[in-house]
Amino acid sequence: MNCTRRSFLKGGLATLFFGGMPLPGLAEKNNKKNIIVILLRGGMDGLTAVPVISDPALKSLRKNIIIENTLPLTSDFALHPKLKTFHELFQNNQASVIHATSIPYTGRSHFEGQDLMETGSLTPYSTKTGWLGRGLGLSDNRFNSLALALPMPLILRGANNNNNFYPTDLRVPATVVLEQIKEIYELHKEEDLVRNIDLILNRPLSMQINYKNLHILSKVAAKTINSPLGPNVAVFDIEGFDTHSAQGDINGKHAEHLAEVDTVISTLRQHLKESFDNTIILTVTEFGRTVSENSGRGTEHGYGSAILMAGGLIKKSQIYTDWPSLKQNSLFEGRDLQSTTDARSVYASAMATVFDLDFELIKKQVFWNEDIKDLSSQLFRS
């Protein structure tokens, strides 16, 4: 590549992009409902994000990594200080927390756990589609999705209209060339590749940028969602929650990644504008972390964690939990926060709300009629 690549940039942004795609109409007022999932890989520690303040056990088990200067939520729970926007939304009835929750997986493996958080299944590697993808499929693929990630996340597989956006500073070939390649793909019955070329050919202006950070990705997601034919599902992917060491307190690695979650939420709120009122943002993680800190000022893989939710479709600010306590005999296997709410109940209820589908249908078709509960009326506005 011998330095040739960057020279493409000389022409400035205007020369960089794909030509000849239809522009979306000016954003009209639209009432479509949106669901935005933020995948938190590595095992997000619910007790760092939303520490319980009424249980003195936490402080004694986490002497070096306890969060000080927390933001107040309720008499029992507080919020990590890096979640500033989330806190503001909580005060305006636009954010809530499900605590002591997890997918029903206790194996403590990232790879199995991440497979299951995305497929919604009980058996690792047994399902090739994601719960969000199946939900989209159930709504007759009326809706599109956008992943803000380079590989297409498993959670969206199973839907017909998935797109992704994770820009690079490279120049895409001219339309005629893309069309010729598309013809070859059609001839070879390469359906997925044909679709990709179509999506590339039809990218809106908002996606024609050549650099990225979470702020930009969130802004593009919001603008794309706001266009009338835009997606109503978006998926972000944030890594790095696996803090076996140097988890830190208000400035450690967990804090940095929570700040990223807050950036996504705050940018989405700013650029979704009125659409924020019709949106559910929710976090998904594979498991929580041990209640006690380890010798490296970190935590090990655990079980129960928390789901952070924001958006105008949140019913009210609340910590929704059947709190299991941190007493030794209440901990899962004597070490982890218990899960008292199947996270899939929350996922299914959010999809029922956004896709206007019957909860029972989702339960049956997306989650194999497993024992999950309809929490729609407790958690969301219809």
Partner 1 sequence: MSKGFYRKIAFGLGLNENPPSDPLGWALSQLDSVQDIDLMNAPSLNEQLEFFSKMREVEDKLTVQFKHSAVEYEEARQKNYNKFGTGFYHPLEIHIRHKAALTSNQPVFERMYHFWTNHFAVINTNTLRDHAIGPYQREVIRKNLTGSFNELVKQATTGFAMLKSLDNERSIGPNSAYVRKKKSHGDYKRAGQAALNENHARELLELHTVSPNAGYTQQDVIELAKVMSGWRPKYRKEDYPDWKNPVHFDSFYHEPGEKNILGKIYNTKDSPVSPKDELFQVIDDLCNSVHCKKFISHKLCRYFIDDNPTPDMVEYVIRAWNASKGQLPAIHKAVIELAYNNPQYNRKYLMPETWLLQSAKILDIQYLLSEKNFWNHDFDTWPRAQYEISHTMEDLGHHPFIFKQPNGYMDQEKEWISPEMTIRRLAYAKIFYDDVDYSHKKKSNIKEYFESVVYKNFDNGEEIIKDLFSIKRITSDLFTIFLNRPEVLRV
Site string for partner 1, 9-28 (x = CB under 8 A): --------------------
In the bound state with partner 1, the residue whose beta carbon lies nearer, of 270 and 294, is 294
- Residue 301 Cβ vs partner 1, minimum distance, rounded to whole Å: 7
In the bound state with partner 1, the residue whose beta carbon lies nearer, of 247 and 266, is 247
371 touches partner 1 by CB under 8 A: no
Residue owning tokens 């299951």: 116
Strands (E) across the chain are located at: 34-40, 71-72, 78-79, 95-102, 145-148, 162-164, 233-238, 279-285, 305-310, 319-320, 341-342
Comparing C-alpha atoms, which of 342, 359, 357 is closest to residue 33? 357
Q: Which region, judged by CB under 8 A, interacts with partner 1, from 30-38, 88-96, 149-157, 317-325?
A: 149-157
In the bound state with partner 1, the residue whose beta carbon lies nearer, of 140 and 192, is 192
Q: Which two tokens stand for residue 265?
A: 């939420």
Site string for partner 1, 36-75 (x = CB under 8 A): -----x----------------------------------
173 touches partner 1 by CB under 8 A: yes
In this structure, the number of other CB atoms found within 10 A of the CB of residue 333 comes to: 11
Q: Which helix (H) or strand (E) holds 77?
A: none
In this structure, the number of other CB atoms found within 10 A of the CB of residue 224 comes to: 23
Q: Which two tokens stand for residue 5?
A: 């690549």
Q: Which two tokens stand for residue 226?
A: 């706001």
Rounded CA separation 323/191 (Å) = 48
134 touches partner 1 by CB under 8 A: no
- Residue 332 Cβ vs partner 1, minimum distance, rounded to whole Å: 11
In this structure, the number of other CB atoms found within 10 A of the CB of residue 372 comes to: 23
- Residue 170 Cβ vs partner 1, minimum distance, rounded to whole Å: 3
Considering only residues 69, 75, 140, 151, which one is a binding residue for partner 1 as defined by CB under 8 A? Answer: 151
Residues 288, 303: contact at Cβ < 8 Å?
Answer: yes
Considering only residues 9, 53, 66, 110, which one is a binding residue for partner 1 as defined by CB under 8 A? Answer: 110
Considering only residues 178, 221, 272, 314, which one is a binding residue for partner 1 as defined by CB under 8 A? Answer: 178
Considering only residues 13, 23, 177, 229, which one is a binding residue for partner 1 as defined by CB under 8 A? Answer: 177
In the bound state with partner 1, the residue whose beta carbon lies nearer, of 141 and 270, is 141
Site string for partner 1, 195-234 (x = CB under 8 A): -xx-xx----------------------------------
Residues 125, 112: contact at Cβ < 8 Å?
Answer: yes
Sign of the alpha-carbon dihedral angle for 69, 315, 39, 208: negative
Rounded CA separation 146/250 (Å) = 32
Considering only residues 15, 180, 328, 330, which one is a binding residue for partner 1 as defined by CB under 8 A? Answer: 180
In this structure, the number of other CB atoms found within 10 A of the CB of residue 354 comes to: 24
- Residue 150 Cβ vs partner 1, minimum distance, rounded to whole Å: 5
Total binding residues for partner 1 by CB under 8 A?
A: 57
Phi-psi region of 293 (alpha: psi -120 to 50; beta: other; left: phi over 0): beta
- Residue 44 Cβ vs partner 1, minimum distance, rounded to whole Å: 16
172 touches partner 1 by CB under 8 A: yes
Strands (E) across 90-232 are located at: 95-102, 145-148, 162-164
Question: Which pairing describes strands 95-102 and 319-320: parallel, antiparallel, or unpaired?
Answer: parallel
Q: Which two tokens stand for residue 203?
A: 């990218």
Q: Interface residues for partner 1 in 262-291 (CB under 8 A)? A: none
111 touches partner 1 by CB under 8 A: yes
Residues 186, 203: contact at Cβ < 8 Å?
Answer: no
Considering only residues 11, 72, 92, 128, which one is a binding residue for partner 1 as defined by CB under 8 A? Answer: 128
Interface residue list for partner 1 (CB under 8 A): 1-6, 41, 107-112, 124, 128, 147, 150-152, 154, 157, 162-168, 170-174, 177-178, 180-181, 184-185, 188, 190, 192-193, 196-197, 199-200, 239, 244-245, 294-296, 298, 300-301, 333
